[in-house]
Amino acid sequence: MGARTGQQYLDKLNAMTPELYVDGEKVTSKVAEHPAFRNNALTYAKLFDLQHDPAHRDVLTYESPTTGERVGTSFLVPRDEEDLKRRRAAFSVWAQYSNGFLGRTGDYMNSSLTALSTAKKFFSQADPVYGERIQKYYEMARENDLLATHTLIPPQVNRSVSGSQQGGGNLSAKVVEEREDGIVVRGARMLATIAPIADELLVFPSTVLRGTPEDAPYSYAFAVPNDAPGLKYFCRAGLDHGRSHFDEPLASRFEEMDAVVVFDDVFVPNERVFLLGHPELCNAWYSETGAGALMTHQVVTRTLAKTEFYLGLASEIAAAIGIGGFQHIQQDLSELISYVEIEKAVLRAAEADGKLSEDGVFLPKWEVLNAARNWYPTKVSPRLTEIIRKFSASGLMALPGEADFEAEGRPDLDTYLQSATLPAKDRARLFKLAFDASVSSFAGRESLYEYFFFGDPVRMAGAQVNAYPREALQERVRELLAREGQ
């Protein structure tokens, strides 16, 4: 098949029979037509269509090494710096289309599969068959252009104990039976973003396992179709309220549903089991395979697009209401400009300083990307929305809906809600966008999502400190202290 069109994606989605629960309703068919998922599915369909747009085809796709069909560039195994740049160019097309608000586009998990498919040495520590299985799965996903999501952590019941200890060990998803032809999984996991509109669910290691016998049933990596028997998704309340693009410009396009995943004795055949047991390898899943590096390369490309959007939005607001000449406004715009340029520099440095892995994959420099993934959630992302709120002030509240501009009060709106450069309706349209980007329920979910994207920022910071090579720098300090007469 190769790269799919949007219609092919929607047709397959409608043909699937998942078990979804949303707003008290059970949904098992025609997912792409359901109000809770329709708009987001249509947006994802547009991403698939971009692969066939002559303006983007050669960036978003390449020739499959096995079939010659055009397949997604996010499946390209990077062998040198130019391949990393090629992958980033493809990431940028999708990221700029969504302005970074889609956090689970296919290129994210595709990047993980791409790295894992080549990690022969890693999988051979357990059994080479695991590496062979995931390579075949990667090729299947590549040739069929599958959209995958993943689920990461145990249910949030008692954070003071490990997942294997919660609810007597019966809450977190675990292997309850090992059969000759596969495994049976029971329990729950959080938090599968875009689960209702995906083709596949990847269940990969996440939280650190202690390596005790009690952790063995929780040590695994596998994949299942999104409508596998016994697989259930419990969705949060939607943030797309069915309003127009005028009234909810972001939520009506980019609302990505999140869901708790329940495994009700889900059977996973052997060919879809990529690791079983070996908690020490589960803990090293992302670092030793290169998956973490390729995934973060995609994420930083996306967050750059998002930061650029906020710089553009802040600049539009400043121009619209005539505040661009004030020094405190320029200081904030300068801050946003700095964020954009730093993120660009991070990507270039990560690519230029990349190295070949033992498996022959050219990986971007991890220390650079790791700095970015620690910096953005806590330092950059909160400031983006804060600056928009500061610039907009009460303008975020003085926002009639689209219907009001078609009612008899229109003349008053035209008089009193115009801006320095825009007529009232255009000003309202701009500030509706600012509202959805900074204070709406959609914006609140985005802020939470970005803050915890890679996990608890405090733990991430600790991991960065413990892994970073600082001894040579400390030695320079000691050498200076030891100098005499200089």
Q: Are strands 148-151 and 174-179 parallel, antiparallel or unpaired?
A: unpaired
- Three-class SS of residue 225? strand
Sign for the pseudo-dihedral over CA of 291, 293, 296, 297:
negative
Q: Please check if 158 is assigned to a binding site.
A: yes
Region 144-152 average pLDDT: 96
Q: Please check if 22 is assigned to a binding site.
A: no
| Helices marked H in 406-456 | 410-416, 424-438, 441-451
Within a domain: 263: no
- Three-class SS of residue 436? helix
Within a domain: 465: yes
CB atoms within 10 A of CB 77: 17
DSSP code, position 273? E
Within a domain: 172: no
CB atoms within 10 A of CB 23: 11
What is the structure's pLDDT at 152?
Answer: 87
Element (H, E) at 202: strand 200-203
Q: Please check if 156 is assigned to a binding site.
A: yes
- Three-class SS of residue 262? strand
DSSP code, position 215? G
Is the preceding omega at residue 294 within 30 degrees of 0, hence cis? Answer: no
Q: Please check if 74 is assigned to a binding site.
A: no
Within a domain: 318: yes
Question: The tokens of 105 are what?
Answer: 């586009």
Q: Please check if 66 is assigned to a binding site.
A: no
Q: Please check if 159 is assigned to a binding site.
A: yes
Q: Please check if 144 is assigned to a binding site.
A: no
What is the structure's pLDDT at 341?
Answer: 98
Within a domain: 296: yes
pLDDT 10s digits, 163-210? 666 666 689 999 999 999 999 999 999 989 999 999 999 999 976 777
Q: Please check if 476 is assigned to a binding site.
A: no
Region 335-343 average pLDDT: 98
Q: How far apart are the C-alpha atoms of 148 and 182, rounded to whole Å?
A: 21
Look up the pTM and report it. Answer: 0.95
What is the structure's pLDDT at 156?
Answer: 80
What is the structure's pLDDT at 160?
Answer: 65
Does the pLDDT of residue 318 top 90, yes or no?
yes
- Domain containing 414 equals 288-476
Within a domain: 448: yes
DSSP per-residue codes, 72-116: EGGGPPP-SHHHHHHHHHHHHHHHHHHTT--S--HHHHHHHHHHH
**Residue 278 CB-half CA count within 13 A:** 17
Region 378-386 average pLDDT: 98
Q: Please check if 206 is assigned to a binding site.
A: yes
- pLDDT band of 421, cuts 50, 70, 90: very high
pLDDT more than 70, % of the chain? 97
Q: How far apart are the C-alpha atoms of 314 and 388, rounded to whole Å?
A: 6
Number of structural domains (the chain) is 1
Within a domain: 73: no
- pLDDT band of 1, cuts 50, 70, 90: confident
203-to-13, 271, 340 alpha-carbon distances in Å: 20, 14, 33
DSSP code, position 199? S
- Three-class SS of residue 277? coil
What is the structure's pLDDT at 90?
Answer: 98
CB atoms within 10 A of CB 474: 9
Within a domain: 260: no
CB distance 300 to 374 below 8 Å: no
CB atoms within 10 A of CB 320: 22
Does the pLDDT of residue 333 top 90, yes or no?
yes
Q: Which amino acid is at 330?
A: Q
Backbone phi and psi for residue 370, each to the nearest 5 degrees, phi listed first: -65, -35
Question: The tokens of 50 are what?
Answer: 């971009």
**Closest to 134 in 3D by CA, of 126, 455, 181, 360:** 126
Instruction: Give 53's contacts (C-beta < 8 A, 6+ positions apart).
Output: none
**Residue 136 CB-half CA count within 13 A:** 13
Question: The tokens of 79 are what?
Answer: 């062998």
Region 380-404 average pLDDT: 97
Does the pLDDT of residue 38 top 70, yes or no?
yes
What is the structure's pLDDT at 158?
Answer: 75
Region 292-316 average pLDDT: 98
- pLDDT band of 486, cuts 50, 70, 90: low
Backbone phi and psi for residue 250, each to the nearest 5 degrees, phi listed first: -95, -50
Q: Which amino acid is at 131?
A: G
What is the structure's pLDDT at 355?
Answer: 97
CATH number at residue 394: 1.20.140.10
Does the pLDDT of residue 108 top 90, yes or no?
yes
Instruction: Please give the distance of CA 151 from its chain centroid, rounded to a whole number.
Output: 12
